[in-house]
């Protein structure tokens, strides 16, 4: 049955919304009911990347289309144009066409305008025509690869409808940026990526700003670009390589989500800030955090994620016990003894004890086996005789994943280390599940699974020294089972005998794990 063609026009427009102009127009050949659907869709998306003819033909195709929309009094809510410039003639015709198109588009109620250049021409000549900042109807403006200078903003009007501004790889100086921001007082979304010449981002005057994102912002000498914001209105902050200026005691009363990747910020000040609404916090590869004890006043946190190559020291002020933390940490033996690394991990896990913890350890650097055993002895000594009673009690962890294949792909080496490493891990935490990454048909992965099975089920490492450490946890481990989760039709964990697994043919989304039951853990 032809279900699609009988759908109402609004639904077909919705499907066409996600297509480029070329794809949308081609649907006219499907059948008579599709013939004219594309003609009236309210968004236009032109890209010359898939256009075989010359640039002038492409530009006149766009012009004809806009003229037709205008003549038929249709609406254009969104207009996307991606253009590759080969010579200055193209650029000049684009400028004169934009002069012609933008009044038409404004007239047709244009709300969103995305203009993206791709060019190998010397970029300082590709100035954004000033007519763009005269389009009063705009709510959403994306500009890529343009030069924004004094001339660009000579016709700037008060863009009181503009809610969203995105600048990508544009060439813009601080003063011009400030003037643009100053004429768009109601901006709610601001997204800045790789803009050359912008040395500081000061958006503390945007009191309606809810979403702020800044990516890869460096100045000419490679320093991270300082960012000044107005905390109270913000709901989402995403900083990817930038320097966020935080003031002591700032109140981020509406902040829901904070994402920091490779960011610099005044961590001491962050400990004194208030995040009463914060639900999601992600800290990824922030090296300056290494020597800091970070305290986060986020009583409503739901989801915390840390990625890094050192164990951090982060604690939360929250009384909730239904939140998740996801700790992804690389085990690199750079300096300091591995036993101290595990102790630090134990301290970090202890301060997250109220949350449901997922722990992933990336084993970048394997120690030689003698050292691992020596360190295990140290670790056991610390933990059992630490002086402070149960100060170093092993922490319950929901899931544990061990990634051992980052640098070394010699699976045999991994397998011989597996038992020692598990003993170290079990002395600081008690995982309810151990997730195992696997590829269907990979012998290496199957060997790894069998090796884990041997250690966990049969408590056998094949080496006497390791067996001593296995005894330290094996009495607490009451039950082990091997489980599989298929993605479809019902997503749930099911037991599978290990013998069946060797013939298992599944799909890429399937997951496997060992489920562990520990004495004293509910």
Partner 1 sequence: MAAETGTPTTLTLKSNDDELFSVAESAAILSVTIRNMVEDGCAGGVIPLDNVDGKTLASVITYMNGISAIPADEEKKKSYRDKFLSDKDFETLADMVLAANYLNMSCLMDAVSAKIAQVMEKKSVGWVRRKFGIENDYTPEEEAAVKEEHKWTFEGVETDDDN
> Contact, 110 vs 80, CB < 8 A?
no
- Which of helix, strand or coil describes residue 145? coil
Radius of gyration, CA atoms only, the chain: 29
- Maximum Cα interatomic distance, the chain, rounded to a whole number of Å: 86
Distance CA 422, CA 443 (A): 21
> Contact, 206 vs 185, CB < 8 A?
yes
The distance of closest approach from Cβ of residue 303 to partner 1 in the complex, given in angstroms and rounded to an integer, is 6
CB nearer to partner 1: give 34 or 218: 34
The distance of closest approach from Cβ of residue 64 to partner 1 in the complex, given in angstroms and rounded to an integer, is 12
Among 9, 11, 353, 368, indicate the residue that binds partner 1 (CB under 8 A).
11
Among 32, 443, 494, 505, indicate the residue that binds partner 1 (CB under 8 A).
32
Among 35, 68, 155, 247, indicate the residue that binds partner 1 (CB under 8 A).
35
> Contact, 226 vs 203, CB < 8 A?
no
Distance CA 429, CA 419 (A): 15
What is the rounded (10 degree) CA torsion for 335, 337, 342, 346?
-90
Distance CA 197, CA 227 (A): 14
- Is residue 213 a contact residue for partner 1 (CB under 8 A)? no
Among 8, 389, 441, 520, indicate the residue that binds partner 1 (CB under 8 A).
8
CB nearer to partner 1: give 31 or 56: 31
What residues numbered 244-303 form the site for partner 1, per CB under 8 A?
Answer: 256-257, 279-280, 302-303
Q: Which stretch binds partner 1 (CB under 8 A): 359-367, 401-409, 476-484, 485-493?
A: 485-493
Distance CA 208, CA 234 (A): 8
CB nearer to partner 1: give 292 or 328: 328
Name the helix (H) or strand (E) containing 467: helix 464-474
Among 34, 70, 218, 504, indicate the residue that binds partner 1 (CB under 8 A).
34
> Contact, 77 vs 111, CB < 8 A?
yes
> Contact, 150 vs 130, CB < 8 A?
no
What residues numbered 51-110 form the site for partner 1, per CB under 8 A?
Answer: 51-53, 61
> Contact, 194 vs 215, CB < 8 A?
yes
CB nearer to partner 1: give 35 or 290: 35
CB nearer to partner 1: give 147 or 278: 278
Cβ neighbours, 10 Å, residue 172: 21
- Is residue 391 a contact residue for partner 1 (CB under 8 A)? no
CB nearer to partner 1: give 22 or 169: 22
Distance CA 516, CA 433 (A): 6
CB nearer to partner 1: give 51 or 171: 51
Among 9, 40, 50, 182, indicate the residue that binds partner 1 (CB under 8 A).
50
Count of residues touching partner 1 (by CB under 8 A): 44
- Is residue 18 a contact residue for partner 1 (CB under 8 A)? yes
Contact footprint for partner 1 (CB under 8 A) = 1-5, 7-8, 10-11, 14-19, 22-23, 25-35, 50-53, 61, 256-257, 279-280, 302-303, 487-489, 491, 509
């Amino acid at each position: 049955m032809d279900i699609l063609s009988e759908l109402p026009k609004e639904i077909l427009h919705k499907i066409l919304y996600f297509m480029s102009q070329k794809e949308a127009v081609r649907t006219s050949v499907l059948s008579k009911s599709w013939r004219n659907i594309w003609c009236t869709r309210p968004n236009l998306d032109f890209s010359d990347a898939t256009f075989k003819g010359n640039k002038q033909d492409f530009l006149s195709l766009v012009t004809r289309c806009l003229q037709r929309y205008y003549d038929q009094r249709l609406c254009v809510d969104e207009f996307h144009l991606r253009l590759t410039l080969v010579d200055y003639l193209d650029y000049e015709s684009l400028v004169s066409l934009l002069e012609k198109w933008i009044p038409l588009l404004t007239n047709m109620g244009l709300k969103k305008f995305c203009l993206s250049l791709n060019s190998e021409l010397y970029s300082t000549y590709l100035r954004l025509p000033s007519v763009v900042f005269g389009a009063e109807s705009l709510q959403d403006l994306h500009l890529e690869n343009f030069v924004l200078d004094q001339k660009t903003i000579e016709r700037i009007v008060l863009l009181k409808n503009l809610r969203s501004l995105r600048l990508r790889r544009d060439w813009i100086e601080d003063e011009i940026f400030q003037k643009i921001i100053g004429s768009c007082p109601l901006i709610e979304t601001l997204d800045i990526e790789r803009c050359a010449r912008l040395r500081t981002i000061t958006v503390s005057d945007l009191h309606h700003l809810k979403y702020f994102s800044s990516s890869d912002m460096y100045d000419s000498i490679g320093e991270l670009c300082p960012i000044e914001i107005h905390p109270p209105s913000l709901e989402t902050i995403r900083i990817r390589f930038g320097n966020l200026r935080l003031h002591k005691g700032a109140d981020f009363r509406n902040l829901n989500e904070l994402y920091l990747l490779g960011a610099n910020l005044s961590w001491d000040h962050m400990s004194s800030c208030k995040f009463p609404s914060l639900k999601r916090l992600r800290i990824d590869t922030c090296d300056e955090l290494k020597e800091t004890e970070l305290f986060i006043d986020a009583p409503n946190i739901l989801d915390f994620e840390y990625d890094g190559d050192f164990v951090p020291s982060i604690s939360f002020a929250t009384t909730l016990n239904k939140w998740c933390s996801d700790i992804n940490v690389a085990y690199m033996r750079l300096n300091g003894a591995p036993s101290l690394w595990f102790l630090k991990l134990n301290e970090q896990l202890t301060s997250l004890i109220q949350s449901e913890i997922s722990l992933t350890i990336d084993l970048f650097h394997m120690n030689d086996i003698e050292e691992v055993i020596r360190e295990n002895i140290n670790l056991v000594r610390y933990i059992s005789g630490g002086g402070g009673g149960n100060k170093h009690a092993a922490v319950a962890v929901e899931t544990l994943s061990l990634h051992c294949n980052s640098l070394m792909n010699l699976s045999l080496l991994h397998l011989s280390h597996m038992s020692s490493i598990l003993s170290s891990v079990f002395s600081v935490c008690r995982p309810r599940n151990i997730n195992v990454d696997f590829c269907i048909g990979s012998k290496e992965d199957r060997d790894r699974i069998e090796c884990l099975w041997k250690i966990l089920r049969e408590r056998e490492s094949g080496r006497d020294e390791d067996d001593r450490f296995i005894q330290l946890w094996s009495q607490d481990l009451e039950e082990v089972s091997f489980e599989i989760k298929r993605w479809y039709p019902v997503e749930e964990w099911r037991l599978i005998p290990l013998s069946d697994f060797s013939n298992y043919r599944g799909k890429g989304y399937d997951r496997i794990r060992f489920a562990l039951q520990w004495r004293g853990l509910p």
